[in-house]
Homo-oligomer: A and B are copies of this chain.
Amino acid sequence: MSTPSMPAGRKPRADAERNRARVLATARALFGEHGEAVQMPEVARAAGVGIGTVYRHFPTRQALVEAAAEQRFGEILEFAETDCLREPQAGQGLRRYLRHVGEVLAGERGLSAALAAAVGSEAPRGEMLARLERAVGALIEQDRAAGAVRGDVTVDDVYLVVAGLSGIIRTGSGDWSRFADLLFEGLRPRSGRPGA
């Protein structure tokens, strides 16, 4: 009862966390480079630990993939909160955000699948998701004020856009940039824009 910041359990072993981190980092690198097809044994070997260890920290391949994805989530979130929200270029916030997401996804092929899996399933990190949602909501608000997006655009719409983008990139169905433009165009208000 010395560190009240722990509701349950006793203590996290030192080297355990080190391993967890090593595995996650390795996985992240491999997934990014060779796509989601990398196998568990591969990860274990590359990380210099036994398969059992990998499974101890990530009960499932899926879990590992999601964990890796979450890191990137974090980075995207930060980008949204920092760059996009701090430097509002006349309603270009959402566009910049989406383009960034596209670039990240395109850069690390395997991530797209991970994102889809992560978002498509449960609520792995309600916390982070919540922050992201808030940030995106702010972006929408900001762009809307600048007359750059329709009034009925919601956070869910942005979700859809990201999901679609993810799909296109993952399956390499074509020029994702063009796709992003189409979508963005779809979010803009009809005919020029009235107010500033």
Minimum CB distance partner of A193 in chain B: B191
Q: Measured between alpha carbons, how far is A184 from B190 in the docked complex, in Å?
A: 13
Report the minimal beta-carbon distance from A8 to chain B, rounded to whole angstroms: 33
Contact B178 A157 (CB under 8 A): yes
Interface flag for A160 (CB, 8 Å): yes
Contact A168 B167 (CB under 8 A): yes
Task: Point out the residues of chain B lying under 8 angstroms from A185, CB to CB.
Answer: 185-187
Contact B160 A116 (CB under 8 A): no
What is the copy number of this chain in the assembly? 2
Of the residues B167, B181, B187, contact of A167 by C-beta under 8 Å: B167
Interface string of A168-196 (1 = CB under 8 A from B): 10111111001101111111001110000
Of the residues B163, B173, B184, B192, contact of A173 by C-beta under 8 Å: B163
Interface flag for A145 (CB, 8 Å): no
Interface flag for A55 (CB, 8 Å): no
| A156-B182 contact, Cβ under 8 Å, with A164-B164, A191-B190, A191-B191 | no
Inter-chain pairs besides A120-B173, A184-B186, 18 sampled, C-beta below 8 Å: A119-B171, A156-B174, A157-B178, A159-B174, A160-B174, A161-B182, A163-B167, A163-B171, A163-B173, A164-B164, A164-B179, A166-B167, A167-B170, A181-B186, A182-B187, A185-B186, A190-B191, A191-B191
8 CB < 8 A contacts A-B: A116-B171, A116-B173, A156-B175, A160-B174, A160-B178, A164-B164, A167-B168, A183-B186
Interface residues of A, Cβ cutoff 8 Å to B: 116, 119-120, 156-157, 159-161, 163-168, 170-175, 178-179, 181-187, 190-192
